[in-house]
Structure 1
Amino acid sequence: MEVIAIQKSALEGMKNELKALLELTENATRKYMPIFKEEKWLDNQEVCLMMNITKRTLQTYKDKGLLPYSKLNRKNYYKLSDVQALLGAGRPYNTIGNASTDK
């Protein structure tokens, strides 16, 4: 085990910097908390598993405007209610062209 000795003032300075960083992080995330607390949000993988579709099919749904999404830090998120609404609609489009899957 290695022991490193530093001055108490240096340790206090590091503590203060860490506290300031924590406060900045909390302030930055505070404005997004109401959005995430109002409704459950799902990522790509969760939506694909829930709908039993591939990532490509999910991309098609997004491209055609069938499934709204929000982007945060280069990652897509979907409202659970939007996914459930699309599931309730019975996936109105297949992935080949715009042909309807309902007969």
Structure 2
Amino acid sequence: MEVIAIQKSALDGMTNELKALLELTENATMKYISIFKEEKWLDNQEVCLMMKITKRTLQTYKDKGLLPYSKLNRKNYYKLSDVRALLEAGQPYNTNDNGFTDE
């Protein structure tokens, strides 16, 4: 076991810096909390499972503007209400058993 000794002032400085970083992180995420509390958001996999479609079909929905989405950290998210609305309206494209899309 290795023991490393540092001065108390250095430890206090590191502790203060970590607290400041934690506060910055909390402040940065606070602006997104209200967005996620208002509505449930789904990722690609959850949407595909819910709609029983392939990832390619989901991409087609996005490309044609049929399913709005938001991008956060290079990941797409979809509002549950938008997915439900598309399901209720009837999926514009259906996939075959082999995964290809009928257009």
Using the size of structure 2 for normalisation, the TM-score is 0.88
Q: 1:27-38 alignment to 2 at 5 Å?
A: 27-38=27-38
How many pairs are equivalent? 97
The CA deviation at 1:18 is 0.3
- Give the unaligned 5+ runs of structure 2: 95-100
- Percent sequence identity over aligned pairs: 89
- Give the unaligned 5+ runs of structure 1: none
CA contact (8 A) 2:40 2:79 kept: yes
The CA deviation at 1:50 is 1.0
Q: CA RMSD in A?
A: 1.1
SS in 1 for 2:66: coil
Partner of 1:71: 71
CA contact (8 A) 2:57 2:93 kept: no
Q: 1:83-102 alignment to 2 at 5 Å?
A: 83-94=83-94, 95-96=101-102, 99=103
Using the size of structure 1 for normalisation, the TM-score is 0.88
Q: Distance in 2 between matches of 1:11 and 1:20?
A: 14
